[in-house]
Structure 1
Amino acid sequence: MTESATRADRPADAPDSSPWWRSAVVYQVYPRSFCDSNTDGMGDIPGITSKLDYLHRLGVDVVWLSPVYRSPQDDNGYDISDYTDIEPAFGTLADLDALIAGLHDRGMKLVMDLVVNHTSDEHPWFVESRSSTDNPKRDWYVWRPPREGFTGGEPGAEPTNWESAFSTSAWEWDETTGAYYLHLFTRKQPDLNWENPEVRQEVYRMMNWWVDRGIDGFRMDVINLISKPGELTDLPVPPGRRRAPSLGVVANGHRMHEFLAEMHEAVLSRRPMITVGEMPGATVEDARLVTDPRRRELDMVFTFEHVNLDSAPGGTKFDLQDLPLPVLKQNLAHWQEGLAGVGWNSLYWDNHDQPRAVSRFGDDSAEHRVASAKTLASVLHLHQGTPYVYQGEELGMTNANFSEIAQYQDVETLNYHADALSLGLEAERVMASLAARSRDNARTPMQWDDSSQAGFTGGVPWLTVNPNYTEINAAAQVDDPHSVFSHYRALIALRHENPVLVDGTFALLLPDHAQLWAFTRTLATDGGTRTVLLLANCSSAPVELPSDGLPDLAGATLLLGTHGDGGGQTLAAWESRILALA
């Protein structure tokens, strides 16, 4: 489509002043696994800068950088000890400035990860807070005395029976001041007390420091956990667990909207930025409030519902069950319909906390990996919202297939393994669940070429490279018109060129079909009404198009397909077609 045609096709109610991020595609970089420039085995900022032409060729608009701040790396950078400095393993502030300049020179933007529910226990704020009970920063964190009738540090003395996200108690005893501090994640990640206005103002000051440095937005880590309940009490313990999961009672607290509106006024309103909040446990109703532009909070949120559908009810994220296609597509449709006309969706299959999409939702066998990776991409990018591409997803990278616990590095994985075995779960079952769902599946190094260590490093990588890098790598795909990379590139271009894929209304078709994922996007413009149809066979067996439930395909034009011209009434295994209807 030509530029003039694109402008002429723009809807009357969505002028050029529409927020720029509505038509953008975001690419997530996990820095330690992206590209190593100095052969120390860990990716770094200069390595990212060296690959900007690759990202520009892919066509993405925004790069989201997982944390590169100074950190002890207890949770791979999500434990920050200095918000305004760079972890030396990743580079320097000058390196980050060069990355920002390189992105801006190419018309791309940078989003930084904002981690302000908690800090590292090595952050100067916490060092002061734990130094004495009368320190001015004592109330910057959440402190509680031992449970009545118990001595601090002994089993059962914790203020509540809460479990952290990483299978440990959510409380850590501090001998110096004789109290417990709350940590919803590792013990080295104490939670900030957002009830204290001094904490909030210091966070906003830090955010403005980054905005002044030239960044273009924030991805906000577990931002809906910042408003803690007024009273912290025991919770019911699920069967087979030692403690009560805590995130549910903390999420979407009574002052969350107040805090987000205050943040918007103090920082986000200064210039057009992109903001997305990671919000575990958020419902459509929660997201509708947060993303309603009239409320001036955030632009979009990451829903967790679709990535929790394959967890066993009442179990952990590592429990597995079959996920019927109707359940998945109806869930995404629920979010499409729930935010329509008010808020905005973020669209993602995987990220640094989720296993690889093609292994989880597709078919990563040699026969179907390429087609299923392409079709999953088509399904995602055709929904309304801002798509997020996680590094390597555009190559169809797969799960790691680790077979020994010694191969894993992730703290969540290691804690789960130890806890599960201590509860009597079979070792074989535990390892199988980790192979399918561990976060390390997404953290293996980026596969650049078929040279040693996949071209990621000239040294020994911090995490084992997936052995299939000799087949699956960027060098083999960037010039191959039939590759997963080329399909992603075409999808991104299609979205940029067609306002109907940005602003068009969504309608799910055949909601109960076990193989077909079908929906339309429709937009009324000055030039008439346009409708685009997605047909996707999300299975490893062919499927006939039904005679009922689909629009008339006579005169339809194929915009992008996975299997050549894509004609006929039968869709091959993992075939998808994007059609402009007559």
Structure 2
Amino acid sequence: MTKKEWWKESVVYQIYPRSFNDSNGDGIGDLKGIMEKLDYLKELGVDVIWLSPVYQSPNDDNGYDISDYQSIMDEFGTMQDFEELLQEIHKRDMKLMMDLVVNHTSDEHEWFRLAKQSKDSPYRDYYYWKPGKNGAEPNNWESVFSGSAWEYDEDSNEYYLHIFSKKQPDLNWENPKVRSEVFDTMKFWLEKGIDGFRMDVINFISKVPSLPDAPALEGKKYASGADFYMNGPKIHEYLQEMNQQVLSKYDLITVGEMPGITVEQAKLYTGEGRNELNMVFQFEHVDLDSGPTGKWDLKELQLSDLKASFTKWQKGLEQVGWNSLYLNNHDQPRMVSRFGNDDEYWLESAKMLATFLHFLQGTPYIYQGEELGMTNVRFPTIDDYKDIETLNMYNEKISEDKENLSQIMNSIYAKGRDNARTPMQWSSGPNAGFTSGTPWIKVNPNYQEINAEQQLVDDHSIFQYYKKLIQLRKQHEIVVYGTYDLILPEHSEIYAFTRTLGDEKLLIILNFSDGQPEFEWPQELEYEKKELLISNYSIDQEDEQEAFKLLPYEARVYKLT
């Protein structure tokens, strides 16, 4: 059995503070608002709260552009509010994980202001500055948010690198002073008593030093430079230094957000004894419904692809590293709309997907509102959207092809990040109980049917189902540490697998469709006693049939001894 750790046994709840709960009526969620809802999170049963960035920021990318790592964004409150929140979280035996965003800063950060003042500034080398090449940018890399990854600075006649927004210049980790500054920032928060870090695009911090051109794409000015900044030459060296200097001195939960990594790379990042990170967020399963040109290119998800992906990661990290488990977050659409059926089988499919996630091996991450079955939103016009990635894509596509407005909007309805950022639906009252003012982004109109107030008093609600899933994890060690094995790999509707620990087995049966496929009990599964641990339909436990029809989006978990 893999080594026991508290962070393997935990369930993490992600809060996107801007949209969680507003305590002062300015339309923006805040730290005091989070404090008001801690008992709700305790009731749910989660162990760790992951807070998306609350640092000082001009908010070009909703807080992921940080202008001061050691102060709190005015809209969210004060450092005193933060310290009180941390105290209240610990008082309830929960832990707090902070977001660490150190691939880039804001262009309003003091380091960048000083870097910009002069080529001779001691801060110049905190960032990547290059002269142009042949009257154009230093290389042909494309920003993740569209357009060039370089921004021209007239004063110095040089360009600076920004993999994301032009207001997010990339830090130069080759400079030991940058690493030292980052480690000092981490210690600042750890000394306040926080319990870990989720590290934003942390596998981007090591670039190939020559910053070469990427292979050109036909008809395109810019191309993805990802091969030269993802999982770069010194990434493991930097993370091991971070571990040695900072992480190893505390008992922490750490997870690195790492687009574009393979299982083999994840073994290096999370391997026990390698002294890097506890786990990573990988993106393979959330890219399965994207076509060849990226996330906005919609493609129907095949269950066989989902099984193959999850199985590869489950088996690949078994006994070596550790998986993080998620189906949505602040950057991804709502999981019930994406992987389930948010209309006719909304309740059943939300519960089925939760069952799937919580019975895999790894640490489950719940994104705010997921436990209520919150869904994607279809705002009537582009003017209702706030996300920089969405707006940049819209402006680029509409300038190329005005005729395709409906196709562009369909991509936004399916994949836009604002799907995850509509306010938390607390009640059926005005603005879903999120704010007494005007919310910074509109509330999903279905809040009168989907909200916490109703689900807390309904024994059959999605919230109550999540609560039971979390309790089962605490009661049965096999849910955390059991090994995973796929059965029925070729079935187009059923995803079934076992978990094994010693003499115990769990059988998890999931119908990922609105059909009614027949499930045949696997002959190789021998047992003396079977117990239904959880299901999303009421099942007659005396039903000992060897084959049965599954109802649409049905989930069952049996414990076999």
Q: TM-score, normalised by structure 2?
A: 0.97
**Structure 1 position 469 matched with structure 2 position 469:** no
Distance 1:81 1:372 in 2: 41
Pairing 1:101-120 to 2, within 5 Å after superposition: 101-120=87-106
Please, which of 400, 410, 416 is the counterpart of residue 423 of structure 1? 400
> Hey, what does 1:141 align to over in structure 2?
127
Please, which of 345, 349, 357 is the counterpart of residue 335 of structure 2? 357
> Hey, what does 2:70 align to over in structure 1?
84
Maintained 8 Å contact 1:403/1:431? no
Distance 1:169 1:82 in 2: 26
Maintained 8 Å contact 1:165/1:247? no
Please, which of 8, 17, 20 is the counterpart of residue 6 of structure 2? 20
Deviations 1:489-523 (A, max 9, x none): 00011011111011111101111111101001100
Distance 1:52 1:551 in 2: 42
**Structure 1 position 121 matched with structure 2 position 107:** yes
CA offset at residue 29 of structure 1?
A: 0.1
**Structure 1 position 47 matched with structure 2 position 65:** no
> Hey, what does 1:542 align to over in structure 2?
516
Maintained 8 Å contact 1:163/1:170? yes
**Structure 1 position 494 matched with structure 2 position 472:** yes
For 1:414, what is the secondary structure of its paired residue? helix
Q: Which AA in structure 1 matches 2:463?
A: F
Distance 2:425 2:218 in 1: 41
Please, which of 266, 275, 294 is the counterpart of residue 316 of structure 1? 294
Maintained 8 Å contact 2:213/2:225? no
Q: Which AA in structure 2 matches 1:118?
A: H
For 2:426, what is the secondary structure of its paired residue? coil
Alignment length (residue pairs) = 555
> Hey, what does 1:401 align to over in structure 2?
378
**Structure 1 position 174 matched with structure 2 position 162:** no
Deviations 1:126-156 (A, max 9, x none): 0011110000111000011011x31xxxxxx
Please, which of 237, 243, 250 is the counterpart of residue 229 of structure 2? 250
Distance 1:421 1:553 in 2: 60
**Structure 1 position 533 matched with structure 2 position 507:** yes
For 2:484, what is the secondary structure of its paired residue? strand
> Hey, what does 2:242 align to over in structure 1?
263
Pairing 1:376-395 to 2, within 5 Å after superposition: 376-395=353-372
CA offset at residue 241 of structure 1?
A: 4.2
CA offset at residue 549 of structure 1?
A: 6.8
Maintained 8 Å contact 1:164/1:185? yes
**Structure 1 position 564 matched with structure 2 position 538:** yes
**Structure 1 position 411 matched with structure 2 position 391:** no
Please, which of 172, 191, 197 is the counterpart of residue 218 of structure 1? 197
Distance 1:352 1:417 in 2: 19
**Structure 1 position 509 matched with structure 2 position 483:** no
Unaligned 5+ segments in structure 1 are: 1-12, 151-156
Q: Which AA in structure 1 matches 2:525?
A: P
Pairing 1:281-300 to 2, within 5 Å after superposition: 281-300=260-279
- CA 1:136–1:338 in structure 2 vs 1: closer, same or farther (change >3 Å)? same
Identity over aligned pairs, percent: 54
For 1:475, what is the secondary structure of its paired residue? helix
Distance 2:527 2:509 in 1: 11
Q: Which AA in structure 2 matches 1:205?
A: D
CA offset at residue 480 of structure 1?
A: 1.2
- CA 1:240–1:354 in structure 2 vs 1: closer, same or farther (change >3 Å)? farther
> Hey, what does 2:318 align to over in structure 1?
340
CA offset at residue 239 of structure 1?
A: 4.8
> Hey, what does 1:369 align to over in structure 2?
346
**Structure 1 position 330 matched with structure 2 position 325:** no
Distance 1:164 1:499 in 2: 44
For 1:135, what is the secondary structure of its paired residue? coil
For 2:366, what is the secondary structure of its paired residue? strand
For 2:454, what is the secondary structure of its paired residue? coil
Instruction: Give the stretch that moved more between structures: 423-432 or 135-144.
Output: 423-432
For 1:501, what is the secondary structure of its paired residue? helix
Distance 1:271 1:447 in 2: 36
- CA 1:553–1:406 in structure 2 vs 1: closer, same or farther (change >3 Å)? farther
Q: TM-score, normalised by structure 1?
A: 0.94
Distance 1:43 1:306 in 2: 30
Please, which of 284, 293, 296 is the counterpart of residue 305 of structure 1? 284
Unaligned 5+ segments in structure 2 are: none
CA offset at residue 554 of structure 1?
A: 7.4
Distance 1:549 1:54 in 2: 43
CA offset at residue 547 of structure 1?
A: 5.7
Instruction: Give the stretch that moved more between structures: 543-552 or 291-300.
Output: 543-552
- CA 1:353–1:547 in structure 2 vs 1: closer, same or farther (change >3 Å)? same
Distance 1:280 1:290 in 2: 13
Deviations 1:218-267 (A, max 9, x none): 00000000001111122123356441023343100010000000000111
Maintained 8 Å contact 1:362/1:538? yes
CA offset at residue 23 of structure 1?
A: 0.3
The alignment yields a C-alpha RMSD, in angstroms, of 1.3
Pairing 1:46-85 to 2, within 5 Å after superposition: 46-85=32-71
**Structure 1 position 273 matched with structure 2 position 245:** no
Pairing 1:420-459 to 2, within 5 Å after superposition: 420-424=397-401, 426-459=404-437
CA offset at residue 14 of structure 1?
A: 6.1
